[in-house]
Amino acid sequence: MTEWYLEPAREPDEALREQAQARQDNLTKPKGSLGRLEDVAVQLSALQGTLTPRVDKPLIAVFAGDHGVAAEGVSAYPQLVTAEMVRNFANGGAAISVLAKQLKAQFSVVNVGTVYAIEDLPNVVDRRVGAGTQNMCVTEAMTREQCLEAFDVGRDTLDGADDINIFLGGEMGIANSTSAAALAVAHTRLSATAMVGRGTGINEQGMAKKAAVVTRAMSRHLPHMKDGVETLRRIGGFEICALVGAYVRAAQNGVAVLVDGYICTAAAISAVKVNPSIRPWLFFSHCSAEPGHKRLLNKMDAEPLLELDLRLGEGSGAAVALPVMQTACLLQNEMASFEQAGVSRGND
């Protein structure tokens, strides 16, 4: 029997894409004058099978998990911060909490694997696969069973949502930018130096150390990365694997995905490696200040909607970009055509 995460997502409706493009070309504006907004609306039309696409019912889910590679001293913060930030999410004090409220989004935080146990909190779902991953410089980050269990956490998060049409994933986990950099190296075969960034705010010396850690991990694992699942279990994180499961399930459920920053993009390219059919369902919110992010976006042939030098994570960049997608839909859905407005056409 085929594993659920390998089941293909629905392909875009190319006839609807052509109709949506024709509608864009007939609205009261010069052809192409709304730039990327037109592209977004046309792609959503093809995905949703309608000339009036909508992304007004968002689900935001933040997945949290700790990383054993933190033992290598790659973060400016202790691992305790992961659990503390989960509490902050639940109490409404984090950036993504504020943005989710602004967007009137369904919002949840899912503990997939913090080192420190967390008490019962509102909007926090306890699905711990383990108390953090293992140190990828020493051994595999997780077992295959744990990787697939984390996939299931992402799947269940999507399946448990009510009436959504756009999914925004977020992440929290001390040292997860190191795991993301390793995944980026695995999928691009560029150097660790090209893919590591400041993460939580480390200095130049810290970045050199982080690159060395990623290089060590890759020398151990790269020869054994035979597929997307094996790559994730060796150098991924529980929260990254949950994002992979969520991205795949969203596409399978016919829900568009707005991908956040570097770590979420590392999860997105990993998800595409696991299930290539989901790629048309992925939209990319922004290009972060992490140097490896632009390279990873280029590898995916992805054009982000914004570039604001963000590097917070949590899903915050995706939440900031969602109104841009909503605007793209509104313009296609409600602008008048030349005939409706009684406006003369120009020469093509």
CA quadruple 296, 84, 175, 6: dihedral sign: negative
Nearest in space to 244 (alpha carbons), one of 71, 61, 101: 61
Angle at 33 between CA 19 and CA 280, to 5 degrees: 50
DSSP category for residue 306: B
CA-to-CA distance for 158 and 98, rounded, in angstroms?
A: 21
Angle between helices 262-274 and 238-252 (to 10 degrees): 60
Give the three-state DSSP class for 210.
helix
Is residue 38 part of the annotated active site? The answer reads no
Catalytic residue among 38, 314, 334, 339: 314
The DSSP secondary structure of 234-301, one letter per residue, reads HH--HHHHHHHHHHHHHHHTT-EEEE-SHHHHHHHHHHHHH-GGGGGGEEE-B--SSHHHHHHHHHTT
Give the three-state DSSP class for 108.
strand
- For the annotated catalytic residues, the residue numbers are 314
